[in-house]
Structure 1
Amino acid sequence: MRIGFISTRFHGTDGVSLEASKWSEVLEQDLGHECFWFAGQLDTPEEKSQLCSEAFFGGEDVISLHEKLFDPHSFISDEVRSKVTEMEAFLRDSLEKFVSRFSIDLVVPQNVLAIPMHVPMGLAVTNLIDKGLPAVAHHHDFYWERDRFMTGCAKEYLVKAFPPPLKNKFEHVVINSAANRSLKNRLDIESTIIPNVFDFENPPPANDGYGDDFKEEFGIDQNDIMVLQPTRVVPRKGIELSIDLCSKIQARADKNICLVVSHLYGDEGVDYYKNLVQLADRASVRVVWAGDRVGETRGYDQVGRKIYKLWDIYPIADFVTYPSLYEGFGNALLETFYFSKPVLVNRYQVYKDDIEPLGFKVVTMDGQITDRVVDETIELLSNDKLANEWTMHNYKLCADNFSYNVLRSSLEGVLLRIFD
């Protein structure tokens, strides 16, 4: 079967792009299908892809329309309605050409029918599918989970396409149990839960030494405790809690601590980053903001500085912090388990609902760094045997619950229901 993945972007390391890549890997290598790609930004195989820049949510016209649709004081003017209609028609035509060009049998809209970052795109995908094209809509987060989408004049479009109330050869897939309940309670729509996964059937590749000079590059002493925060620099990631943890450990330990933040700041402005810099300075915690030196591929930047992948950094980290206030699931947490690292987790709702009940061994917190949190972290940092027991236990749990094997069987079931 020829399967077309559709979204605004399949590029980089955002959760949607990562999970779409995993789905395609399983669909092609394990289930024998062939996958193709349509989006406004792509880093997928060129011969199997159709780039449509108008599908990207970051285009000027899209941003301008988005602001008008979700402005709390806006109303649905003829101008706005006309622009939505015009953009939807163009995108639907582009999608129809994609389906025809690659003889697509089934489409997989990736979050484009859940979060309205690009309203005309969601409408175009809905109208495409409404003609009878089979679809598996993969929803990562819904608009009603974000306050900013609950105002404005887009309601009629949200009702039609986010997600659409289609049933014929149409399957909804969500990534956690809360989304499953929410979709049922709000719209009376049934869905299948397929959690985020990782290739736990195949352990990480052996260390080839590429990242061995990371500490030296950033002036981190070999005896320092290196704590890794493998997230973007946005408020919901709770990086201030990681700084607090490092400060309290440093006050009690006889070693210095360096907190390494792996991703760039600026996704949601720079104010949060500036506040973190001031907080770390007051707490005397050294933070390495490594985002401009950590990329999707190894190499060198324009001034000759070495670029590392995140996978080069995990092996040399002593501890990982994941103090998120909210997550749709938690890709970075699975990645931490994959690299067998001890970890601190702030008990965000999806963790409490879908991950914690499985019995993972982690340092947990509920919004603040308590003495218990500090004690347990210090114990893991000083007791290699205990840390190894915890991480081996976690890896096995992930292999049983969040592996490609789980994804494989789930996708088989979804496809059987569509084509039964």
Structure 2
Amino acid sequence: MHATSRQDHEFRGLRVAFVSTRIAGKDGVSLEIEKWATVLEALGAECFYIAGECDRPDQRSAIIEAAHFRHPEITAITAEAFGRRGGRPSALTERIFQRAGAIRDALNQALQRFGIDVVIAENALTIPMNLPLGVALVWSLEELSLGCIAHHHDFYWERERYLDSQVDDLLRYAFPPALPRIQHVVINQMAAEEFSRRTGLYCHVVPNIMDFAHPPPPNLSAVQTLRRQLGISEGEWLILQPTRVVARKGIEHSVELVRRLSHPARLVISHASGDEGMAYAHFTAQRYFSYQVLDEALRPLLRQALLAGRTR
């Protein structure tokens, strides 16, 4: 995570803006933003944050309420745009572009106020949880002639709820956009191959990382409580996969890893399937193993004891 002196000089004073629907809490995107920012700052860059919700320092942040995927108008647009095919009502088109225009204006103002040189779009040009934000971001990049790194975590074609839509043209336009000023980044090779197959575009692979050289101090009391509540014996290893039980997370590979260990171990998947259905969870449970999904009471303990390293 350390930059050379040449790199420090090359990027010193560069102003970078992370743009996303939400940059707050401990969701995967927010955690990766924190890690990227740490590396960028080591290179000499200054980092700023633009989102619908943000817990970064006020002097380096701009909040655009309609950029949040839970903004009432955005949730209404999403509900109407997806789940059905066919012609798109003109009223929906008007609402999308009207809201995109308002977001674009606020985005341009924030980017210019911070004097931004490079934008890093965090999933905002990847999954259409906020259609107007994606469209607005494309407009802003073109109008301000800004370079962009589009950091893609999960694509709309990986989510069943986005497969039927009335906005296929907008998905091709902005999720992701084919602009020469954008460098596309995905988090694994499987995503890279599917991305290029679908879009014809090149992308870089930058896996999600952890700073193993600087782990957080262990909270032994919380660890012991967690192990007891999960029924893990003193001699067993706890192997954590901090993801939901969905196909793209490759649960079966973790199962195989644990099976090959020469030491007794228990695999724990931290989250349920959520809004992506239970088909994969049922398939995995029946074919491979009996898994245990933590309920709401255990998740805070898990985050404290085992996921703290992801926030450092």
Question: What TM-score range do you get, normalising by the shorter chain?
Answer: 0.7 to 0.9
> What is the aligned counterpart of 2:158 among 122, 145, 150?
145
Give the superposition deviation at 1:96. Answer: 1.1
TM-score, length basis structure 1: 0.58
**Counterpart check, 1:267 vs 2:274:** yes
Aligned counterparts, 1:161-240, within 5 A: 161-167=174-180, 169-200=181-212, 202-207=213-218, 209-215=220-226, 218=229, 220=231, 223=234, 225=236, 227-236=238-247
In 1, Cα distance between the equivalents of 2:204 and 2:253?
34
CA deviation digits over 1:188-215, x for unaligned, max 9? 3222222222223x14244353425414
Give the superposition deviation at 1:32. Answer: 0.6
In 1, Cα distance between the equivalents of 2:232 and 2:20?
43
Aligned counterparts, 1:44-55, within 5 A: 44-55=56-67
Give the superposition deviation at 1:294. Answer: 3.3
> What is the aligned counterpart of 1:160 among 166, 173, 180?
173
Given the superposition, is the C-alpha separation of residues 288 and 194 from structure 1 closer, same or farther in structure 2, using an over 3 Å criterion?
Answer: closer
CA contact (8 A) 2:246 2:273 kept: no
Cross-structure match for 1:318: none
Given the superposition, is the C-alpha separation of residues 230 and 194 from structure 1 closer, same or farther in structure 2, using an over 3 Å criterion?
Answer: closer
SS of 1:58's partner is coil
Given the superposition, is the C-alpha separation of residues 288 and 218 from structure 1 closer, same or farther in structure 2, using an over 3 Å criterion?
Answer: farther
CA contact (8 A) 2:16 2:116 kept: yes
**Counterpart check, 1:95 vs 2:100:** no
**Counterpart check, 1:129 vs 2:141:** yes
**Counterpart check, 1:66 vs 2:75:** no
1:146 maps to a residue whose letter is: R
Give the superposition deviation at 1:228. Answer: 4.8
Give the superposition deviation at 1:229. Answer: 4.4
In 2, Cα distance between the equivalents of 1:186 and 1:242?
28
Identity of aligned residues (%): 31
CA deviation digits over 1:295-342, x for unaligned, max 9? 3xxxxxxxxxxxx35352479xxxxxxxxxxxxxxxx9xx7xxxxxxx
CA-atom RMSD, angstroms?
3.9
Aligned residues: 290
1:268 maps to a residue whose letter is: D
SS of 2:125's partner is coil
Given the superposition, is the C-alpha separation of residues 286 and 261 from structure 1 closer, same or farther in structure 2, using an over 3 Å criterion?
Answer: closer
Aligned counterparts, 1:2-401, within 5 A: 2-28=15-41, 30-131=42-143, 132-167=145-180, 169-200=181-212, 202-207=213-218, 209-215=220-226, 218=229, 220=231, 223=234, 225=236, 227-236=238-247, 262-263=270-271, 265=272, 267-268=274-275, 287=292, 289-295=294-300, 308=301, 310=303, 312-313=305-306
In 1, Cα distance between the equivalents of 2:153 and 2:268?
27
SS of 2:23's partner is coil
SS of 1:197's partner is coil
Given the superposition, is the C-alpha separation of residues 227 and 291 from structure 1 closer, same or farther in structure 2, using an over 3 Å criterion?
Answer: farther
CA deviation digits over 1:23-77, x for unaligned, max 9? 111001x201010111112222222111222111122321221122122245211
2:117 maps to a residue whose letter is: D
Give the superposition deviation at 1:238. Answer: 8.1
SS of 1:310's partner is helix
CA deviation digits over 1:197-249, x for unaligned, max 9? 2223x142443534254148738475474645443554446889999x99x9x
In 2, Cα distance between the equivalents of 1:211 and 1:92?
45
Cross-structure match for 1:398: none
Cross-structure match for 1:347: none
Given the superposition, is the C-alpha separation of residues 230 and 172 from structure 1 closer, same or farther in structure 2, using an over 3 Å criterion?
Answer: closer
In 1, Cα distance between the equivalents of 2:166 and 2:268?
42
Unaligned runs of 5+ in 1: 296-307, 316-331, 336-420
Unaligned runs of 5+ in 2: 1-13
CA contact (8 A) 1:122 1:161 kept: yes
In 2, Cα distance between the equivalents of 1:108 and 1:138?
7
